[in-house]
């Protein structure tokens, strides 16, 4: 006779062995090193660090390797490690003004102090597969970049130029806001302040934010955005131990920052001004930073009195669903056994169907009886 | 590269455990109230019982004996995986025997054997909010609980009766705890609901993704929602276990062939084994 499935333990062990084998692939092909992944898959590393909320390129590379290239799985691995780390304090608010710039563009001014710096971008490549890259060739010379090594120029934030004239609202000031709650150490409650929303968006799923940002451009909560400035580069982080009284540099992180300039608001007491949407993520990821800035601005709809109930303006909707580790867990948990619930539903459904048939049968016999009576009455 | 990490007893650091214990104490003090807590990212996915695992990790001591069940069974893959996790990170004794366990972590079932005062039942909860499918907004549902504004739930149950002649909820059947909070019992079949009432064991509920902990203290009144003229009815399965012949327990239906053949057997595998060894029934 059939015996309910036993041997879960053995099955799990075997599944892990199969996973390890498939991860390695054909053993005749050399195994990838963490160094190779870190150096040559930099944008994947950037995404895993950004959404994993941990700036550690080596561990991100390890996570990508272990996850067989599944970036959400890699993000999950990094998060599960991050959560065990002790917190020893908050760093001094990062000054992106002092960034050593690799790329910096503005779509609102043709030229500006510090200049437009194109940097490493796919933007003007033709998307033609490059057969030369198909062959790994250690002898291929490293590309030489013209004019590299020029003196870094000071590049103030472009929105400051507008700010000076009062044309744009003042930026959100981290120092004024004081020490904010850490989203990963306190449960999120609604309504959330903008600082908390930005924390959630910074670790939110790139694809989800991209789609939401896109929806605002297509009319679901339009904000008339301009890419005021996008900058990518290294920013130094420091920590100020209270017992020392001065800042101690911790190192530098690569970040992408996007400041959107959006359509103006005014009121009885305030002259019309441009408004801002802000995006900032680890590593090079303009798509994520720009999407984040669009969604940040859309989520300010209430504050700015323009709420129209579209998804991108709905704080509970966006913040409750932007985390891909949570989302993938809950979607995929449907794979776990649900026999008990299903059995309960099955019993209920059978009972409902029996009742339905009984009701129908009794209604039919009642109808027939009534029809006969009518016929009799007609005769 | 970083050194291989070493983990604390039962994985979570002591600060985190303290935070979770505070939430548990608050939850016990306000039976049925969903207490927010700073749920951590766990090394298993959301939806796999991260809430239950955090609660268990926070209350587990070196002398505890742990039992983990999923769908009533100790041998389902996820129950095996969670039991292994604690055996590895805490080195505690584990068991499949319900009476021997001091902590029982469960998904979707309450054991058939009556629980005692020395035991804690830890439920894994996917969606802690019983009103969620009637009102998607957390800001609204929190207000509704605060005001005991449970009208929508009664309307929903009434509409079921009007449409089907029954309350069409077979699992996660809402209960009222200590005459105050309407609570989701987690997706246990409604068959198990009566076991929660006046239960001598402490019942703790952990929802990791949704960051909520709630509790039913020992010997608390737990009432399944119903109407005077449509009283709550336990699901009756018109069959008996094909292994131990039990009739009054929750049975799993097993498809035995592709000709519509079915067999029933106890969902609670430990109960089934105990019954068989005491009655001498053979499989």
Give per-residue pLDDT as tens, A202-239.
999 999 999 999 999 999 999 999 999 999 999 999 99
Three-state DSSP state, A106: coil
A232, A282 Cβ separation under 8 angstroms: no
The whole-number pLDDT of residue A90 equals 87
Q: Which of B54-58, B65-69, B72-76, B146-150 has the lowest mean pLDDT?
A: B72-76
A352: chain B residues, CB-CB within 8 Å:
164-166, 168
Mean pLDDT of B199-224: 98
Separation in Å, CA of A34 to nearest CA in chain B: 10
What percent of chain B clears pLDDT 70, i.e. is strictly above it?
Answer: 97
pLDDT range class, residue A5, cuts 50, 70, 90:
very low
B72, B109 Cβ separation under 8 angstroms: yes
Which residues 277-316 on chain A approach chain B with CB closer than 8 angstroms?
316
Three-state DSSP state, B227: strand
Across the interface, which of B38, B137, B253 has its CB nearest the CB of A343? Answer: B253
- How far is it, in rounded angstroms, from Cα B146 to Cα B140? 10
Give per-residue pLDDT as tens, A32-83.
999 999 999 999 999 999 999 999 999 999 999 999 999 999 999 999 999 9
Give per-residue pLDDT as tens, B227-243.
999 999 988 888 999 99
Q: Which residue of B has its CA nearest to A326?
A: B46
Report which of A330, A329, A334, A335 is spatially closest to residue A73, judged by C-alpha positions. A329
The whole-number pLDDT of residue A218 equals 94
The whole-number pLDDT of residue A315 equals 95
Contact (CB<8Å) A330/B13? no
Q: What is the ipTM of this complex?
A: 0.85
Bridge-based pairing of strands B202-207 and B212-216 is antiparallel
Which residues 9-38 on chain A approach chain B with CB closer than 8 angstroms?
9, 11-12, 34
Q: Is B199 a catalytic residue?
A: no
Separation in Å, CA of B118 to nearest CA in chain A: 27
In the predicted model, is pLDDT for residue A122 greater than 90?
yes
Q: Is B266 a catalytic residue?
A: yes
DSSP state of A245: -
pLDDT range class, residue B73, cuts 50, 70, 90:
very high
The whole-number pLDDT of residue A2 equals 35
Q: Is B272 a catalytic residue?
A: yes
pLDDT range class, residue B5, cuts 50, 70, 90:
low
The residue written with tokens 């199969």 in the block is A18
Mean pLDDT of A98-114: 90
Q: Which residue of B has its CA nearest to A185?
A: B38
Which residues 311-340 on chain A approach chain B with CB closer than 8 angstroms?
316, 320, 325-326, 328-333, 336-340
The whole-number pLDDT of residue A6 equals 57
User: A121-127 — which CB contacts under 8 Å span 24+ positions?
Assistant: A121/A286
Catalytic residue among B32, B49, B52, B208: B32
Q: What's chain B's average pLDDT?
A: 93
In the predicted model, is pLDDT for residue A3 greater than 50?
no
The whole-number pLDDT of residue B3 equals 53
The whole-number pLDDT of residue B281 equals 55
In the predicted model, is pLDDT for residue A155 greater than 90?
no
Mean pLDDT of A18-30: 96
Between A350 and B182, where is the model more confident? B182
Dihedral sign for Cα B50, B55, B58, B64, please. Answer: negative
User: B244-250 — which CB contacts under 8 Å span 24+ positions?
Assistant: B244/B272, B244/B275, B244/B276, B244/B279, B244/B281, B245/B275, B245/B279, B245/B281, B246/B271, B246/B272, B246/B275, B249/B112, B250/A340, B250/A343, B250/B72, B250/B109, B250/B112, B250/B189, B250/B191, B250/B192
Q: Which of A152-166, A339-353, B99-113 has the lowest mean pLDDT?
A: A152-166
């Amino acid at each position: 006779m059939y015996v309910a499935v036993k041997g879960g333990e053995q099955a799990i062990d075997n599944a892990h062995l199969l996973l390890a084998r498939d991860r390695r692939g054909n053993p005749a092909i050399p195994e990838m090193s963490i160094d190779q992944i870190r150096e040559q898959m930099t944008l994947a590393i950037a995404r895993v660090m950004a959404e994993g909320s941990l700036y550690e390129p080596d561990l991100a590379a390890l996570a990508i390797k272990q996850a067989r290239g599944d970036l959400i799985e890699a993000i999950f691995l990094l998060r599960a490690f991050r959560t065990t780390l002790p917190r020893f304090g908050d760093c001094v608010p990062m000054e992106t003004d002092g960034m050593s710039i690799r790329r910096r563009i503005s779509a609102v001014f043709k030229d500006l102090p510090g200049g437009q710096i194109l940097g490493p971008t796919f933007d003007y490549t033709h998307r033609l597969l490059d057969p030369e890259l198909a062959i790994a060739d250690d002898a291929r010379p490293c590309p030489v970049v013209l004019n590299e090594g020029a003196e870094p120029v000071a590049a103030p934030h472009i929105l400051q130029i507008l700010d000076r004239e009062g044309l744009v609202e003042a930026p959100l000031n981290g120092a004024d806001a004081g020490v904010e709650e850490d989203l990963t150490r306190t449960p999120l409650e609604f309504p959330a302040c903008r600082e908390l929303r930005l924390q959630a968006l910074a670790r939110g799923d790139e694809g989800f934010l991209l789609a939401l940002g896109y929806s605002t451009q297509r009319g679901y909560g339009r904000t008339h955005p301009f890419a005021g400035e996008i900058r990518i580069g290294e920013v130094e982080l420091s920590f100020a131990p209270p017992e020392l009284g001065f800042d101690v540099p911790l190192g530098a992180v690569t970040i992408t920052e996007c400041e959107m300039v959006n359509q103006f608001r005014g009121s009885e007491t305030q002259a019309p001004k441009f408004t801002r949407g802000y995006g900032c993520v680890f590593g090079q990821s303009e798509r994520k930073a720009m999407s984040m800035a669009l969604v940040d601005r859309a989520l300010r709809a209430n504050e700015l009195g323009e709420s129209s109930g579209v998804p991108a303006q709905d704080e509970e909707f966006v913040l409750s669903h932007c985390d891909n580790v949570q989302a993938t867990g809950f979607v995929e948990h449907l794979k776990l056994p649900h026999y008990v619930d299903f059995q309960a539903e099955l019993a209920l459904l059978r009972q409902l169907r029996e009742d339905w048939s009984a009701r129908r049968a009794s209604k039919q016999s009642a109808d027939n009886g009534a029809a006969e009576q009518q016929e009799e009455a007609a005769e | 590269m970083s050194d291989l990490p070493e983990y604390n007893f039962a994985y979570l650091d002591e600060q985190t455990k303290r935070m979770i214990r505070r939430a548990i104490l608050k939850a016990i003090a306000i039976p049925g109230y969903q207490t927010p807590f700073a749920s951590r990212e766990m090394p298993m996915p959301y939806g796999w019982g991260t809430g239950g695992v955090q609660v268990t990790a926070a209350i587990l001591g070196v002398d505890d004996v742990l039992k983990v069940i999923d769908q009533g069974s100790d041998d389902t893959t996820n129950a095996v995986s969670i039991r292994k996790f604690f055996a590895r990170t805490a080195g505690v004794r584990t068991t499949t025997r319900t009476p021997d366990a001091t902590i029982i972590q469960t998904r979707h079932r309450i054991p058939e054997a009556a629980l005692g005062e020395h035991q804690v039942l830890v439920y894994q909860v996917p969606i802690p909010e019983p009103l969620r499918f009637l009102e998607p907004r957390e800001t609204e549902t929190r207000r509704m609980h605060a005001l005991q504004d449970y009208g929508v739930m009664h309307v929903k149950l009434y509409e079921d009766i009007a449409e089907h002649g029954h309350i069409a909820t077979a699992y996660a059947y809402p209960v009222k705890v200590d005459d105050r909070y309407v609570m989701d019992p987690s997706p246990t079949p409604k068959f198990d609901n009566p076991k929660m009432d006046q239960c001598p064991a402490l019942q703790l509920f952990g929802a990791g993704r949704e960051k909520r902990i709630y509790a039913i203290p020992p010997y608390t009144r737990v009432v399944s929602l119903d109407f005077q003229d449509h009283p709550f009815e336990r699901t009756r399965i018109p069959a008996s276990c094909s292994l131990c012949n039990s009739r009054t327990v929750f049975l799993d239906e097993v498809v035995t062939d592709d000709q519509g053949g079915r067999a029933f057997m106890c969902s609670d595998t430990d109960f089934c084994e105990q019954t068989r060894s005491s009655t001498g029934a053979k499989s």
